[in-house]
Chain A
Amino acid sequence: MWTFGRKIAAGFTLAFLLLVVIGAVAYRSINSLTKTSKMVTHTHEVLENISEMLSLLKDAETGQRGYIITGDQPFLEPYNTALNNLPKVIEKLRTLTADNPNQQRRISQAEPLIKAKLEELQQTIDLRRKGDVAQVTQIVRGGAGKKFMDDLRVIAGQMDQEERELLAKRAEEVESAAGSAQNTISYGTLLCLLLVTVAAFTITRSLSGQIGLAVRHVQSSSVELQSTANQQASGAKESSTAMNEITTTISELLATSRQIAESAQRVAHIAEETFKAAKSGDQTVEKAHDSVTGIKRQVDLIVTHMLDLGKKSQQIGGILEIINELAEQTNILAINATIEAAGAGDAGKRFAIVADEIRKLADRVAGSTKEIRGLIEEIRAAVNTTVMATEGGTKAVDLGARQFAEVAAALKQIGSLVATTTEAAREIELSTKQQTTAVEQVNAAISSVAQATRETEASLTQTLQTATQLTGLSRELSRLIQPTASA
Chain B
Amino acid sequence: MSDLSPIAKTVADLRNTFDRSYSLPPSSSGAEQVENLLALRLAGNPYAIRVTEIAGLVNNRKTVAIPSPISELLGVAGIRGGLVPVYSLAALLGYDRNGYARDASPARWLALCGNEDQVGLGFSDLEGYLRVPAVQIYAASQENIMGGHVKDVARVDGLVRPVVSIPSVVEMIQRRCGEIRVSPMQL
Chain A positions near chain B (C-beta within 8 angstroms): 328, 331-332, 334-336, 338-339, 342-343, 349-350, 353, 356-357, 359-361, 363-364, 368
Tell me the complex Cα distance, A331–B57, Å: 10
B21 part of interface (Cβ distance < 8 Å): yes
Question: Measured between C-beta atoms, what is the minimum distance from A11 to chain B in Å?
Answer: 146
8 A Cβ contacts from B1-35 to A = 10, 14, 17-18, 21-22, 26
Are the CB atoms of B57 and A335 closer together than 8 Å? yes
Q: Which residue of A lies closest to B14 (CB)?
A: A364
Contact A361/B57 with A338-B51, A342-B51, A342-B52 known, Cβ cut-off 8 Å: no
Tell me the complex Cα distance, A421–B93, Å: 92
Tell me the complex Cα distance, A338–B22, Å: 17
Q: Which residue of A lies closest to B38 (CB)?
A: A335
B174 part of interface (Cβ distance < 8 Å): no
Tell me the complex Cα distance, A364–B16, Å: 14
Question: Measured between C-beta atoms, what is the minimum distance from B2 to chain A in Å?
Answer: 16
Are the CB atoms of A339 and B26 closer together than 8 Å? no
Are the CB atoms of B26 and A349 closer together than 8 Å? yes
Chain B positions near chain A (C-beta within 8 angstroms): 10, 14, 17-18, 21-22, 26, 36, 38, 51-52, 54-59, 128-129, 131
Q: Which residue of B lies closest to A353 (CB)?
A: B26
Are the CB atoms of B18 and A339 closer together than 8 Å? no
Are the CB atoms of A339 and B59 closer together than 8 Å? no
Are the CB atoms of A331 and B52 closer together than 8 Å? no
Are the CB atoms of B26 and A350 closer together than 8 Å? yes
Contact A339/B55 with A349-B26, A353-B21 known, Cβ cut-off 8 Å: yes
Which of the residues B21, B26, B36, B59 comes within 8 Å of A338, measured between beta carbons?
Answer: B36
Q: Which residues of B contact A331 (CB under 8 A)?
A: 129
Are the CB atoms of B21 and A335 closer together than 8 Å? no
Chain A CB within 10 A, most for which of B38, B59, B128, B129: B129
Q: Which residues of A contact B21 (CB under 8 A)?
A: 353, 357
Q: Which residues of B contact A334 (CB under 8 A)?
A: 129
Ordered nearest first, which 8 A-B pairs have the shortest CB separation? A335-B57, A336-B56, A342-B52, A357-B21, A332-B57, A339-B51, A359-B129, A336-B57
Task: Pull 5 A–B residue pairs with CB atoms less than 8 Å apart, ordered by A.
Answer: A331-B129, A332-B57, A332-B58, A353-B21, A361-B18
Q: Chain A binding site: helix, strand, loop or mixed by DSSP?
A: helix
Q: Which residue of B lies closest to A361 (CB)?
A: B18
Are the CB atoms of B128 and A328 closer together than 8 Å? no
Tell me the complex Cα distance, A349–B34, Å: 13
Are the CB atoms of B54 and A339 closer together than 8 Å? yes
Q: How many A-B residue pairs have CB under 8 A?
A: 40
Are the CB atoms of B129 and A335 closer together than 8 Å? yes
Question: Measured between C-beta atoms, what is the minimum distance from A347 to chain B in Å?
Answer: 12
Q: Which residue of A lies closest to B115 (CB)?
A: A343
Are the CB atoms of B38 and A357 closer together than 8 Å? no
Q: Which residues of B contact A353 (CB under 8 A)?
A: 21, 26
Question: Measured between C-beta atoms, what is the minimum distance from B69 to chain A in Å?
Answer: 31
Contact A339/B57 with A353-B21, A357-B21, A363-B129 known, Cβ cut-off 8 Å: yes
Tell me the complex Cα distance, A59–B130, Å: 231
Which of the residues B18, B51, B59 comes within 8 Å of A328, measured between beta carbons?
Answer: B59
Tell me the complex Cα distance, A235–B151, Å: 127
7 further interface pairs, Cβ-Cβ under 8 Å (given A331-B129, A339-B52, A363-B128): A328-B59, A335-B57, A338-B36, A339-B57, A349-B26, A353-B21, A361-B14
Q: Which residue of A lies closest to B55 (CB)?
A: A339
Question: Measured between C-beta atoms, what is the minimum distance from A336 to chain B in Å?
Answer: 5
Question: Measured between C-beta atoms, what is the minimum distance from A350 to chain B in Å?
Answer: 6
Are the CB atoms of B57 and A357 closer together than 8 Å? no
Q: Which residues of A contact B128 (CB under 8 A)?
A: 363
Chain A CB within 10 A, most for which of B17, B22, B36, B131: B36
Tell me the complex Cα distance, A339–B51, Å: 6
Q: Which residues of B contact A343 (CB under 8 A)?
A: 55
Question: Measured between C-beta atoms, what is the minimum distance from B22 to chain A in Å?
Answer: 8
Question: Measured between C-beta atoms, what is the minimum distance from B113 to chain A in Å?
Answer: 11
Q: Which residues of A contact B17 (CB under 8 A)?
A: 360
Chain B CB within 10 A, most for which of A336, A339, A364, A368: A339
Tell me the complex Cα distance, A331–B39, Å: 13
Tell me the complex Cα distance, A165–B177, Å: 217
Are the CB atoms of A332 and B51 closer together than 8 Å? no
Q: Which residues of B contact A368 (CB under 8 A)?
A: 10
Q: Which residues of A contact B18 (CB under 8 A)?
A: 357, 361
Question: Measured between C-beta atoms, what is the minimum distance from B149 to chain A in Å?
Answer: 20
Question: Measured between C-beta atoms, what is the minimum distance from B57 to chain A in Å?
Answer: 5
Are the CB atoms of B129 and A339 closer together than 8 Å? no
Tell me the complex Cα distance, A378–B22, Å: 37
Q: Which residues of A contact B26 (CB under 8 A)?
A: 349-350, 353
Q: Which residue of B lies closest to A350 (CB)?
A: B26
Tell me the complex Cα distance, A8–B92, Å: 157
Question: Measured between C-beta atoms, what is the minimum distance from B81 to chain A in Å?
Answer: 16
Q: Which residues of B contact A359 (CB under 8 A)?
A: 129
